[in-house]
Amino acid sequence: MVRSKRALITGVTGQDGAYLAKFLLKKGYTVYGTFRRASTPNFWRLSYLDITRDINYIPADLIDTPSLVEALKISRPDEVYHLAAQSYVGTSFDQPLTSGEFTGLAVTRMLESIRQNDPQIKFYQASSSEIYGKVSTSSQNEKSPFQPQSPYAAAKLYGYWITKMYREGYGIHASNGILFNHESPIRGLEFVTRKITNAVARIKLGLQKKLNLGYLESLRDWGYAPEYVEGMWKILQQKKSDDYVLATGEAHTVKEFADVAFSHVGLNWKNYVKEDKRLYRILEVKTLKGDPTKARRELNWKPKTSFRELVKLMVDKDLERWKGWQKGERFPWDAINYIDEEKTLFRTPS
């Protein structure tokens, strides 16, 4: 009897971890997921995708190497998808040392644990378009220069290079997925896309009046997260490990995102959005647009969901959630975890 493939996902409770777990389960994998033990567990995304009971959970901490080794021993994985990190750029300016530990050095801890315990494991490192930073080209591919503009990006770049070093120095099947922005209805509310769609829903329903945003002219390459986790999987199915950009090849401004989102519910964004310079980053990354040519050629991967389709499906889901809340329904979502939602959530729905 041939055993099913086994995968270990660090950060299984995040957006990408949840979608990847669902994708791998459909592929017949036995899925293990690490999570950081906390006083209030955060499994709402897995519950939203209806896979909470299908995953084998392992408590682990990215700064505790023995717990990572234990996770490998318990899961005995064929593939490790290292997605866990401090993943918000803004927070990295407030907590630069924490970002370095969890987003950068943790990659080495994971790779070293693999090297010493089972170097045949295939390793995927979740890199980021933020490593390109202050770009000098209209689009970025695997050979474009890096100029990170945040502690998060610097830590991700460290993770990128250490992954290449373990690949070339120790022969580990270790690959980087340089993913450009990818969004979904289970994106965290601290990210600008979900911040916009959540506010649009609340404003449409009379629960909010205004939306403050940072730099409106930021250009980003936005895709749909479930399609990107398939790309992660395809990267580890290659005989030879390598680095790949996953992106749509299109860039749109934050202003465009807001325009499409508000228009979808019959509102004019200009009547509700205010640009707030206090929300600017210390160092702004003005433009990021990926060139996924290599992924199309070697992985046969390409995004399917258009920018407008992505915005609309996110708005629709947030509208559905807030309408459900108004009816007194109970369902898994994240608004309850955010201070800004408190005044609405903890009063009786009208």
Residues taking part in catalysis: 128, 130, 152
* Rounded CA separation 287/217 (Å): 9
Cα 5 to Cα 40, 121, 214, 245, 248: the distances in Å are 31, 11, 44, 25, 30
Token reading at 218: 């930021």
Residues of 211-227 as b/e, b for ≥16 C-beta within 10 angstroms? Answer: bebbbbebbbbbbbbbb
Rounded distance between C-alpha atoms, residue 165 and residue 157, angstroms: 12
Distance, first Cα to last Cα, the chain = 58
Q: What angle do CA 152, 315, 51 make, to 5 degrees?
A: 70
Q: Tokens in use for 116?
A: 């010493």
Closest-CA residue to 302 (of 245, 343, 237): 245
Write the single-letter amino acid at 67.
S
Identify the H or E element spanning 57. Answer: strand 56-59
The full DSSP string for 193-249 is HHHHHHHHHHHHTTS---EEES-TT-EE--EEHHHHHHHHHHHHTSSS--EEEE--S
Nearest partner of 146 among 126, 128, 125, 168, judged by Cα: 128
